[in-house]
C-alpha cells in the first residue's frame, strides 16, 4: 500500500469516524436541550428517542473501524483486505443503555438537591451526557478493533493520537505497545485509535523513544523535573491503567478515584 496511501487511509478513517461522532453528539445534545421538563417522564422519553440512534451509530463505528483495520492489516501481512464485520453488544459497558442515558438526569437532580440553581444543574447533566456519548463511541471503536485485529492474527498494537490536541496521558501512552488481547485503555473524551504493529515479534514496551522524551520534557517544563531517558519510575507511578467496571482499561493518574457507595446521595 505504501506510506502515503496508508496515511490517506488513516485520514479518511479519521474524517468518517469524526463525522459520526459529531453528528451523534449534535443529535443527542439537541434532544436533551429541547426537553420541556427534566422529570422522570422526560428522562424516559429522551431515552426512547435517542437510544436507537446511539446504538445504530455504535454499530456504524464498529463497521467503519473493522473496514479500516482490515485494510491496514492486509497491507502489513501482504494479503487482500477482507472485513468480515463485527457484532457489538448493545451493553458494551455491561449495563443496560437505558440506565446509562438516565444518568445525566440523575446528575441534574443531584445538583438541584445540593442547592445548585436550575441552569447550572441542567448544564451539569448536559456535560455528563456529552461524556457518556463520547465514551460509548470510543468503546465501540476499541471493542471492534480488538475483534478485527484478533481475526487478522495481529499480536501487538499502538494507540495513534488524534489529529487535534492530545492530553499528556494519551501522548505518553502512545509511545507504548499493547497486546491485542487487551482493550486499548481510554479515558472520557479520548479520541485515540488502535493501530496494528507490523510483525509478530514483540517490539518492546517503548516504541517511540523520541516522543516519550519530548513528553517528559514538556511535563518537566511545568513541574521542574525531567528524566532524559524517559524511564523515570515516578512517571509510571503517576500515569497508570485502572480496570473500570464499565469501561474496562481506563487511562488515569494515580490520584484519581472512582465514585464509591458513600458518594451516592440517599433517595
**109 and 194 fall within a common domain:** no
For 114, the domain range is 1-153
pLDDT at 4: 76
Query: Lowest-confidence range among 61-75, 231-245, 253-267?
Result: 253-267
Residue 147 and residue 188 share a domain: no
pLDDT value at residue 256: 46
22 and 125 both lie in a single domain: yes
**Is the per-residue pLDDT at 191 higher than 90?**
no
Q: How many domains does the chain have?
A: 2
For residue 42, the model assigns a pLDDT of 96
Residue with cell 492489516: 73
Mean pLDDT of 97-101: 96
* Residue-wise DSSP of the chain: --HHHHHHHHHHHHHHHHHHHHHHHHHHHHHHHT-S--SHHHHHHHHHHHHHHHHHHHHHHHHHHHHHHHHHHHHHHTS----------S-TTSS-HHHHTTHHHHHHHHHHHTT--HHHHHHHHHHHHHHHHHHHHHHHHHHHHHHHHHHTT--EEEEEPPSS---HHHHHHTTB-EETTSPPPB-TT---EEEEPSSSS---SBS-HHHHHHHHHHHHHHHS---TTS--HHHHHHEEEEEETTTEEEEEETT-----GGGSPP-
Q: What is the dihedral of CA 163, 200, 240, 59, to 10 degrees?
A: 60
Q: How far apart are CA 129 and CA 50, in angstroms?
A: 11
Pairwise pLDDT comparison (221 vs 111), residue with the higher score: 111
pLDDT at 233 over 70: no
pLDDT in tens, 35-93: 989 999 999 999 999 999 999 999 999 999 999 999 888 887 776 666 777 889 999 88
Q: Which three cell numbers stand for residue 248?
A: 474496562
pLDDT band at 199 (very low <50, low <70, confident <90, very high): confident
Q: Which of 122, 153, 184 is the last residue of a domain?
A: 153
Q: Check residues 210 and 79 and name the one with the higher pLDDT.
A: 210
115 and 197 together in one domain: no
259 pLDDT more than 50:
no
Q: Which of 134, 153, 172 is the last residue of a domain?
A: 153
Distances (CA, A) of 1 to 9, 35, 76, 80: 10, 49, 9, 11
pLDDT greater than 50 at residue 257? no
More confident residue, 165 or 228: 165
244 in the same domain as 197? yes
**Burial environment of residue 212 by CB neighbours within 10 A (0 to 12, 13 to 18, 19 or more):** buried
Please report the pLDDT score of residue 228 as a whole number.
Answer: 43
Percent of residues, the chain, with pLDDT higher than 70: 76
Which position has the higher pLDDT, 36 or 20?
20
User: Which of the four pLDDT bands, split at 50, 70 and 90, describes residue 221?
Assistant: low
User: What is the structure's pLDDT at 30?
Assistant: 98
Could you tell me if 110 and 170 lie in one domain?
Answer: no
Judgement on whether residues 124 and 172 belong to the same structural domain of the protein: no
Interval 137-158: pLDDT, tens: 999 999 999 999 988 888 898 8
69 and 192 in a single domain? The answer is no
Identify which of 132, 130, 127 has the alpha carbon closest to the alpha carbon of residue 99: 132
Averaged pLDDT of the chain:
81
Phi-psi map region of 158: left, alpha, beta (phi>0 left; psi -120 to 50 alpha):
beta
* pLDDT for residue 229: 47
| pTM given for the model | 0.79
Same domain for 124 and 87 = yes
Looking at the fold, whether 83 and 99 belong to one and the same domain comes out as yes
Asked if residue 206 and residue 141 are part of one domain, the reply reads no
pLDDT tens, residue by residue, 115-124:
999 999 999 9
Among 126, 153, 180, identify where a domain stops: 153
Q: Which residues contact 82 (CB under 8 A, 6 or more apart)?
A: 70, 74
Q: Given this model, what pLDDT does residue 266 score?
A: 42
Q: Are residues 144 and 214 in the same domain?
A: no
Residue 73: Cβ-neighbour burial (10 angstroms; 0-12, 13-18, 19+): buried
Contacts of 171 (CB under 8 A, 6+ apart): 161, 211, 215
Q: Return the number of other C-beta atoms located less than 10 Å from residue 105's C-beta.
A: 23
Amino acid at each position: 500500500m505504501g506510506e502515503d496511501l496508508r496515511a490517506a487511509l488513516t485520514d479518511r478513517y479519521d474524517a468518517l469516524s469524526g463525522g459520526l461522532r459529531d453528528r451523534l453528539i449534535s443529535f443527542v445534545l439537541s434532544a436533551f436541550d429541547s426537553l420541556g421538563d427534566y422529570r422522570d417522564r422526560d428522562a424516559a422519553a429522551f431515552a426512547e428517542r435517542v437510544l436507537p440512534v446511539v446504538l445504530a451509530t455504535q454499530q456504524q463505528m464498529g463497521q467503519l473501524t473493522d473496514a479500516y483495520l482490515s485494510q491496514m492489516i492486509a497491507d502489513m501481512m501482504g494479503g487482500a483486505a477482507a472485513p468480515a464485520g463485527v457484532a457489538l453488544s448493545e451493553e458494551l459497558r455491561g449495563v443496560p443503555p437505558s440506565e446509562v442515558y438516565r444518568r445525566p438526569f440523575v446528575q441534574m437532580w443531584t445538583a438541584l438537591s445540593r442547592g445548585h440553581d436550575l441552569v447550572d444543574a441542567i448544564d451539569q447533566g448536559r456535560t455528563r451526557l456529552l461524556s457518556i456519548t463520547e465514551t460509548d463511541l470510543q468503546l465501540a471503536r476499541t471493542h471492534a478493533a480488538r475483534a478485527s485485529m484478533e481475526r487478522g492474527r495481529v499480536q501487538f498494537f499502538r494507540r495513534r493520537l488524534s489529529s487535534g490536541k492530545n492530553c499528556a496521558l494519551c501522548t505518553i501512552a502512545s509511545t507504548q505497545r499493547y497486546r491485542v488481547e487487551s482493550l486499548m485503555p481510554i479515558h472520557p473524551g479520548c479520541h485515540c485509535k488502535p493501530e496494528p504493529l507490523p510483525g509478530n515479534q514483540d517490539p518492546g514496551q517503548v516504541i517511540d523513544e523520541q516522543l516519550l522524551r519530548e513528553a517528559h520534557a514538556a511535563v518537566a517544563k511545568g513541574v521542574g523535573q525531567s528524566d532524559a531517558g524517559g524511564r523515570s519510575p515516578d512517571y509510571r507511578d503517576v500515569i497508570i491503567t485502572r480496570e473500570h467496571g464499565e469501561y474496562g482499561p481506563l487511562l488515569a493518574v494515580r490520584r484519581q478515584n472512582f465514585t464509591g457507595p458513600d458518594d451516592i446521595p440517599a433517595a
